[in-house]
Amino acid sequence: MKPSLKREKAANKARRQPVDSVALRHLANALDPVAATPPSPDEFITPERMVMSIRMRFNAIRRITPELLATQLDQFQRGYLSPIMRTWEAIERRDYRLSAVAPKAKSALARHGFEILTHDDSPAALEHKAALEYFYNNLTVVDAYDENRVGGFSMLVRNMADAIGFKYSTHEILWNPSYSGLTAEFRKAPAWFFENITGRLRFLREDYAYYGVDMEPDRWLTHVDDGIDEAGSVAYMFKTLPLRDWLNFSEKFGMPGVLGRTQASIGTPQWNAMVDAVGRFANDFAAVCNIGDAIELIKAEGGTSTLPFQPIVESMDRALSILWRGADLGTEAHRGGGEGQGASLQQSETDELDADRAERINETLKIHLDRRVIAWTFGSAVAPLAFVKVKTKPQRNIDLDLKTIQALAPMGVPFEVNNVLERLNWERPKAGAELLKAPAAPQKPEATDLDEEVAENERRMVNKFLARSRDLFGEGLADDLRPLRDALSKVLKGSDETLMERARILYNHLPALGASIITAQKSSEQLETILGTALAVGLAGKPEEI
């Protein structure tokens, strides 16, 4: 078959394929000159740029000193990021404590996946949700420095979490639109590929360039976080110096020194024999010497418990753990004063820190990705009705959930069975499985005519008691209010000409009358009698005694 016929046959076959509404909308947006379109696929992080950077890589902490670290931190504040970023990256990889806590902090954000939420249940919101689900489920992440590391959304979040330490985490975006939807490839750039001299990150085309080039917002995903490596590198330095001194001390005084004493003159056979004996003793721990000669061991004075090295190292290790995880769960828990109390409180603090960091990533994704995906899929003027959320460790209090359900269900608040089971972390039972059943409620005996007569007598007794109680309390209250009633009677009995004057006099004496009424006891005594009688009868269960 000729090539032209092959092409025509393929074109006819393509025309016969069904095209869904999403594909048509992508095509319409592509043809609409007003609609936004993804940028061109030209790369900033080229293979040549990476090869040159890898060849020029070096160990940034081999000769690190406090003075050099201070200089790099000052440069970081001025926007020159490359030196300190190389140092921080090496510290996170090489330090035994950071190589444990930093991956934990990043994995805590990346291990739970994502969900797409909508602002409402409209058809447009559901379409936006579908577009975002396709985007995030099909994106690809590549480490530009090590292209063997490839992943999806989880790797994207873990890479963005680098900003916890470095303050900045940056990916180059290579957009990939198709008829099925829009997705992208994210290429993670090393932290030292940028400068911040102008207050906005710019890309360095060479490793040791001073000024970078501007970065198009649609081409880069930049996430910003606390940058705790600034404080962490200081703690690392404060730990490295005493740790180095501790190793030197162990090397020098771990084995005792050997001192040979002899009365022989230098150079004599006896002197040479002592020299040989000391050398053999030090190497093989065995020697022979003349009587009168002595070999002594020299030890460093003071035990290791008095040395300052270990407390300083442990203190800096705890500081690094607290920076990354909110607490040092391995040691601080024992200081809480009770079993599990310290660990529980510290774990709660760690969970809150993870949730806060996840929310920052959510905000970055909403601004830099969600809005663009919706704009390029549905039109530049369309506001997003759905958004992505990075899920974190579920915070469940089963006891509180049960109490909430028990309190609200009788009030008519609806609870979906699937949601309740998911929240309580219980699976829905399989079809045909044996189920637990609530105990049967005890059956009430059928009411008889005698029961009805007894109930009616009880109701009459109660009503009679209530009527008598109202009368007793009314009598007591009337007695307490008698001073006010007598005063009002005197005011009203006088002539109309002096009524206002008598009323003014009563008004001035109202505080004294009020005090006498408040201190009156008759109504409170009657109420005490009523309540006491009701309580006694209720406890005894004998309504006929009231």
Give residue for tokens 């190589």. 99
Give residue for tokens 């979040």. 157
Which residue type occupies 429? Answer: P
- Please tell me which of 125-134, 177-186, 308-317, 513-522 the model is most confident about, judged by mean pLDDT: 125-134
Q: Where are the domains of the chain?
A: 23-256+313-415, 257-298, 452-545
Q: Which pLDDT belongs to residue 299?
A: 64
Per-residue pLDDT reduced to its tens digit, 295-343: 666 666 554 457 888 899 999 999 999 999 887 655 444 444 444 455 5
pLDDT, mean of residues 70-97: 94
Q: Cβ(466)–Cβ(537) under 8 Å?
A: no
Tokens representing residue 231 in the block:
């404080």
Q: Cβ(190)–Cβ(144) under 8 Å?
A: yes
CA angle 226–227–228, rounded 5-degree value: 95
Cross-strand pairs, 173: 186
Output phi, psi for 339, to 5 deg.
-70, 120
Which residue type occupies 364? Answer: T
Confidence grade of residue 87 (pLDDT, cut at 50, 70, 90): very high
Residue 510 pLDDT more than 90? no
Which residue type occupies 460? Answer: R
Gap between the Cα atoms of 252 and 300, Å rounded: 9
Other Cβ atoms closer than 10 A to 498: 11
Q: Which pLDDT belongs to residue 340?
A: 46
Q: Name 365's Cβ contacts closer than 8 Å, sequence gap at least 6.
A: 387, 388, 390
One DSSP character per residue, 430-485 reads: PTT-----PPPPPPPPPP-HHHHHHHHHHHHHHHHHHHHHHHHHHHHHHHHTHHHH
Gap between the Cα atoms of 432 and 30, Å rounded: 54
Tokens representing residue 543 in the block:
């309504």
Per-residue pLDDT reduced to its tens digit, 403-460: 887 887 888 888 787 777 767 667 777 777 887 777 776 766 666 666 677 777 777 8
Q: Name 360's Cβ contacts closer than 8 Å, sequence gap at least 6.
A: 223, 224, 225
pTM of the entire structure? 0.62
Q: Which residues of 214-226 are buried (b: 16+ CB within 10 A; e: fewer)?
A: ebeebbbbbbebe
Q: Cβ(419)–Cβ(441) under 8 Å?
A: no
Which residue type occupies 272? Answer: N
Per-residue pLDDT reduced to its tens digit, 183-218: 999 999 999 999 999 999 999 988 888 899 999 889
pLDDT, mean of residues 508-520: 78
The mean-pLDDT minimum among 27-31, 101-105, 435-439, 477-481 falls in 27-31
Q: Which pLDDT belongs to residue 289?
A: 60
Q: Name 536's Cβ contacts closer than 8 Å, sequence gap at least 6.
A: none
Other Cβ atoms closer than 10 A to 424: 12
Q: Which pLDDT belongs to residue 42?
A: 62
Gap between the Cα atoms of 384 and 431, Å rounded: 41
Q: Name 243's Cβ contacts closer than 8 Å, sequence gap at least 6.
A: 309, 313
Q: What 3-state DSSP class applies to 261?
A: strand
pLDDT, mean of residues 262-280: 83
Report helix angle 341-365 to 98-110, nearest 10: 60
